[in-house]
Structure 1
């Protein structure tokens, strides 16, 4: 009886162990818990400052209108915390060439899997009421979050009408939750 029992238990134990190892591997991939202890700091310059071409001289007899000194700030807001403690400033900028950029300044949030910067039309709500609203209406992903700390720039696609959007969210696409968000108020 001992041999029969041992022959039956061994495959069962091996099967349970294989399922447990596969489950642990999937859980580690899906949740990526190590990111909670890994900070990525990004320090990008304000767009347009270094790459601005020198101004051309006006034709003779024409009055010179000075070019803007830098990017024009159209709207801004302070980030509030949602799923994770989040702080910093968000600015919507228009560059000299007419393109738009969302700039995050002094960002400080948790790292996480599949974080993105969303430009949205959703209202910014405090507390749990604001955690899941940013992908419900119109929204544009400006790309993966470059780092969970620092200052960084995100180009807005040229075909996007920025006047249709009123907020920015640091969005975890894997779990459909906002880490933090800011209402964009015209400046």
Structure 2
């Protein structure tokens, strides 16, 4: 792409004006809420989690520091105000033992993540939380 001096000067002045006004560019298509897991029900669950809007999909991203000690029936789900919300499972077939590392899980289309302020690692078999992350 070749720019004339006039075009370059115009772009430079525009960038300087935006900078001086303190306007921060935003990506309207993508937004992120983040948190960190803490264990529950005598389980060890740690690591970062993000809920990311990517175009028309929402994805729960577990960080590379994610670690879970294991349970017989773990599921990723959502909750709010300290309570798991039934019917919000994100992913069902998860590793049952020594689950570590980064992974991404697409949120089903019918779940409105803006209604929730927590991500849960939930044991469906025993109906208990294994880990909870407050997301902001």
1:115–1:138 distance in 2 versus 1, CA, 3 Å: closer
TM-score, normalised via structure 1 length: 0.51
From 162, 177, 182, the counterpart of 2:128: 177
Equivalenced residues, count: 106
The Cα of 1:145 is off from its aligned counterpart by: 5.4
TM-score, normalised via structure 2 length: 0.68
Structure 1 moving runs of 4+ over 3 Å: none
Contact 1:117 1:145 (C-alpha < 8 Å) held by counterparts: no
| Greater Rg by CA | 1
Is residue 163 from structure 1 mapped to residue 122 from structure 2 by the alignment? Answer: no
Aligned counterparts, 1:1-187, within 5 A: 72-83=30-41, 84-95=43-54, 97-105=55-63, 106-123=65-82, 133-134=83-84, 137=85, 139-144=87-92, 146-147=94-95, 148-185=99-136
Name the structure with the higher helix share: 1
**Superposed CA offset, 1:92-111 (max 9, x none):** 0011x321001111211111
Contact 1:74 1:92 (C-alpha < 8 Å) held by counterparts: yes
The Cα of 1:139 is off from its aligned counterpart by: 4.8
Name stretches of at least 5 consecutive residues in structure 1 with no aligned partner.
Answer: 1-67, 124-132
Name the structure with the higher strand share: 2
Name stretches of at least 5 consecutive residues in structure 2 with no aligned partner.
Answer: 1-26
1:177–1:138 distance in 2 versus 1, CA, 3 Å: closer
1:152–1:94 distance in 2 versus 1, CA, 3 Å: same
